[in-house]
Amino acid sequence: MKGHFYKPHCKCTTKKCKCSATWSYMIDVGINPATGKRKQKKKGSFVTKAEAELHAANLLIELKQGTYVEEKETTFGEFSEIWLRIYAGAGNVKISTVDTRKRELNRLLKHLKFYKIKDITLNIYQDTLFDLKDSGYEHNTMIGTHRVAKLIFKKAIEMNVIKKDPTEFSYIPKDQKTVEDLESSDEVVKYLEKEELKLFLDTAEFKGLERDYITFTMLSYTGMRVGELCALKWKDIDFENHEISITKTLYNPKNKITDYTLLTPKTQTSRRKISVTPEVIDLLLIHKKEQNEIKMRFRTTYHDKDFVIAKAVRNPGYPETGMNITWRMERLLKICGLDDNLTPHSLRHTHTSLLAEADAELHEIMDRLGHRDDSTTKSVYLHVTQTRKKDTSAKFSALMKSIK
């Protein structure tokens, strides 16, 4: 081994040290390819020479085995920028996912930004998770933030910036559920009953704003996500076979009408074909005729990108935004006296409940909605089918009582 052990801060004038100075070592760890000169590793703060020798021996073993990593002085904030560029530039991640990762990363930066990434230990990272929990973040939010941290530290190891992943044995803190929590967790997500849906759609038809009736009929009769409806184009509709192809979704996080992006569907199973009734097809044909008249009126300024649910006056032709659809639904719910806390996504749950009531199987509903697995859909389905099973049991009991 080329190197030596010494006490850099020893002030003793005699050969035998009597002060409390600690031991250090300096050994060769290779050649700098840029200069051709030897690279040395210095490490100090050892109480005894034996401790310094043991640490140096372990380092030499790593050098011999080729597992030595020279940890960098990079801060977590600096490396997270490197990671984000690599993550976003991979070419296989949607812009909406990148934006989500940025929000999750920002939570980590509030706690870890100025730490040298090599100095972040399990305890430091675990304390960060505790702090996030104490700040009131929901468990699902914590899961996403923890996922980003694992991606960052994994990449740091791959790039030889650190040796050990501090997230490896960490855990996401979670409150123990009380009896009240368990009881309330059985509550089914809210949706419209069929009588309520009819009232809502009647209100949309006779008291709604332009496109309200076609918009909310499409959402409630197909179970589409709002982003899927906003991205829907006329070429996606097979009028002859009464089918709608779902191949994309609209991404417009800033709600700026002219600044939108079309993305691939949420998941692989989200790509699907939805069969619709002749009534829906007829409604779409009427809407298409009205839209053609609007195109003629704004022929020089119409944003003609084939969108079905398109703006008619301001920014004609541009796709409708999810936020505006939410606002319009809230307006209609208030007019007809229904729960105005319901959202356009509630119509997806409404579609599930009515399909269940119509004796559709769960796997058929999941396929129609573009789900591989979804706990909320299952919850709505089970709620409806359990109610019907009780009705069946009551009918059986009445039948037996009628026997004399």
- Token digits for 74? 């990079």
Q: What is the secondary structure of 135-191 as a DSSP string? A: TT--HHHHHHHHHHHHHHHHHHHHTTS-SS-TTTT-----PPPPHHHHHHTTPPPP-
Domain ranges of the chain: 3-65, 76-171, 194-390
- Per CATH, domain 194-390 is 1.10.443.10: yes
348, 219 Cβ separation under 8 angstroms = yes
Q: What is the secondary structure of 96-118 as a DSSP string? A: HHHHHHHHHHHHHHHHHTTSBGG
pTM over 0.85? The answer is no
Provide the pLDDT for residue 395: 57
> Which has the minimum average pLDDT: 71-75, 250-254, 318-322?
71-75
3-state DSSP helix/strand/coil % of the chain, to nearest 5: 50, 10, 35
Which residue matches tokens 């849906």?
197
Q: How far apart are CA 153 and CA 158, in angstroms?
A: 9
Q: How far apart are CA 329 and CA 184, in angstroms?
A: 27
- Token digits for 371? 């789900």
Q: Helix, strand, or coil here: 270?
A: helix
Residues 223-266: tens digit of each pLDDT: 999 999 999 999 999 999 999 999 999 999 888 899 999 998 87
Say if residue 320's pLDDT is above 90.
Answer: yes
Amino acid, single-letter form, for residue 209: L
Cβ neighbours of 254 (radius 10 Å): 9
C-alpha distances (whole Å) from 285 to each of 208, 239, 242 are: 19, 9, 12
Provide the pLDDT for residue 159: 86
Q: Which of 60-74, 96-110, 349-363 has the highest mean pLDDT?
A: 96-110
Provide the pLDDT for residue 188: 62
> Which has the minimum average pLDDT: 245-254, 348-357, 381-390?
381-390
Mean pLDDT of 198-217: 96
How would you classify the pairing of strands 243-246 and 272-275?
A: antiparallel
- Token digits for 15? 């050969």
Q: Which of 50-64, 173-187, 288-302 has the highest mean pLDDT?
A: 288-302
23, 47 Cβ separation under 8 angstroms = yes
Residues 84-133: tens digit of each pLDDT: 999 998 878 889 999 999 999 999 999 999 999 999 999 999 999 999 99
Cβ neighbours of 362 (radius 10 Å): 16
Is pLDDT larger for residue 267 or for residue 270? 270
Q: With cut-offs at 50, 70 and 90, classify the pLDDT of residue 307.
A: very high
Which residue in 318, 344, 72 sits closest to 225, CA to CA? 344
Provide the pLDDT for residue 249: 94
Which residue in 107, 132, 131, 108 sits closest to 120, CA to CA? 108
Cβ neighbours of 48 (radius 10 Å): 10
Q: How far apart are CA 216 and CA 221, in angstroms?
A: 8
What element of type H or E holds 272? strand 272-275
Residues near 124 by beta carbon (within 8 Å), at least 6 away in sequence: 112, 115, 166
39, 29 Cβ separation under 8 angstroms = yes
Residues near 185 by beta carbon (within 8 Å), at least 6 away in sequence: 177
Mean pLDDT of 347-362: 90
Provide the pLDDT for residue 44: 85
> Which has the minimum average pLDDT: 66-80, 81-95, 269-283?
66-80
Provide the pLDDT for residue 379: 81
How many residues appear in the chain? 404
Written out in words, the top-level CATH class of the domain with range 76-171 is mainly alpha
Say if residue 401's pLDDT is above 60.
Answer: yes
Q: With cut-offs at 50, 70 and 90, classify the pLDDT of residue 1.
A: low
Mean pLDDT across the chain, nearest whole number? Answer: 88
Which residue in 247, 249, 252 sits closest to 228, CA to CA? 249
Say if residue 47's pLDDT is above 80.
Answer: yes
